[in-house]
Amino acid sequence: NAGVTQTPKFRILKIGQSMTLQCTQDMNHNYMYWYRQDPGMGLKLIYYSVGAGITDKGEVPNGYNVSRSTTEDFPLRLELAAPSQTSVYFCASRPGAGGRSGELFFGEGSRLTVL
Amino acid sequence: AQSVAQPEDQVNVAEGNPLTVKCTYSVSGNPYLFWYVQYPNRGLQFLLKYITGDNLVKGSYGFEAEFNKSQTSFHLKKPSALVSDSALYFCAVRDDPGTASKLTFGTGTRLQVTL
């Protein structure tokens, strides 16, 4: 059981470039999230999804887009990379009900540097 | 709006001594509280949660946390620290575990356990 898989693990972008961070989960979780982690700032929610075809903004959505065409996949797109988007990005998922409801399962993270 | 405060950036403790990592919260409804741990270059891992019931919650790796409603606190504890407990610890809160309501994280506390 792979859990939550993120790719790539590392990426360097130039200002203005675009890229997509991939996230896949094999636990059939309805809820999926994208967070960014900056030193001393904790985790900030970028976007989330409650199921295929449904997405919504979190605290810091500017500069990002998401889609959720399947239950398994929740890619995060950066259209015009800026230095302020240098961060570590985490994808997470959780079940909607049952004993483990509320617990988030995290991927290993994607470290993005924008120069 | 919900929020979490972790007042200590770092906690230092000697191996074998008890440890406490502090967390206070603010929510409008009933709090649902979580602790997560992050090892270097890894995603966050669930440690324990409080939903309802006993104020003392036991979790993974010998950790426990005490919910105190009057003090709006949810401090993480362990009777005897290990060097391998050294990591970054995050407290998190939401006001309902079964909906799309989002988890709000604290800024994290680095635990350093020395011999």
Residues B42-82 pLDDT 10s: 889 999 999 888 899 999 999 999 999 999 999 999 999 99
CA dist B7 and B106 (Å) reads 9
Kindly list the residues from chain B whose CB atom is less than 8 angstroms away from the CB atom of residue A33.
102-103
Q: Is the pLDDT of residue A59 over 60?
A: yes
Question: pLDDT category, A96, cuts 50, 70, 90?
Answer: confident
Q: Is the pLDDT of residue A42 over 60?
A: yes
Kindly list the residues from chain A whose CB atom is less than 8 angstroms away from the CB atom of residue B89.
none
Gap from A48 CA to chain B (nearest CA, Å): 9
Q: Is B32 on the interface with A (CB under 8 A)?
A: yes
Residue B43: which of A48, A101, A109 has the nearest Cβ? A109
**Run of H or E including A111:** strand A110-114
Residue B43: which of A45, A103, A106 has the nearest Cβ? A106
CA-closest candidate to residue A43, choices B6, B86, B98: B6
Q: Look up tokens 């950066």; give the residue.
A: A78
List the A76-78 sheet strands across, edge first: A4-7, A19-25, A76-78, A64-66
Residues B74-114 pLDDT 10s: 999 999 999 999 999 999 998 765 556 678 899 999 999 99
- Cβ of A109 within 8 Å of Cβ of B103? The answer is no
- Cβ of B43 within 8 Å of Cβ of A107? The answer is yes
Strands B109-114 and B10-14: parallel
Question: pLDDT category, A53, cuts 50, 70, 90?
Answer: very high
Mean pLDDT across B4-8: 95
Q: In sequence order, which residues have a C-beta less than 8 Å from that of residue B53 and are 6 or more positions away?
A: none
**Run of H or E including B48:** strand B44-50
Judge residue B63's burial from the number of C-beta atoms within 10 Å of its C-beta, 0-12 exposed, 13-18 middle, 19 or more buried.
buried
Q: Is the pLDDT of residue B34 over 60?
A: yes
CA dist B67 and B69 (Å) reads 6
CA-closest candidate to residue B88, choices B51, B47, B55: B47
Question: pLDDT category, A97, cuts 50, 70, 90?
Answer: low
Mean pLDDT across A77-101: 87
CA dist A43 and B114 (Å) reads 27
Q: Is B54 on the interface with A (CB under 8 A)?
A: no
Q: Is B31 on the interface with A (CB under 8 A)?
A: no
CA dist B92 and B2 (Å) reads 10
CA dist B62 and B78 (Å) reads 6
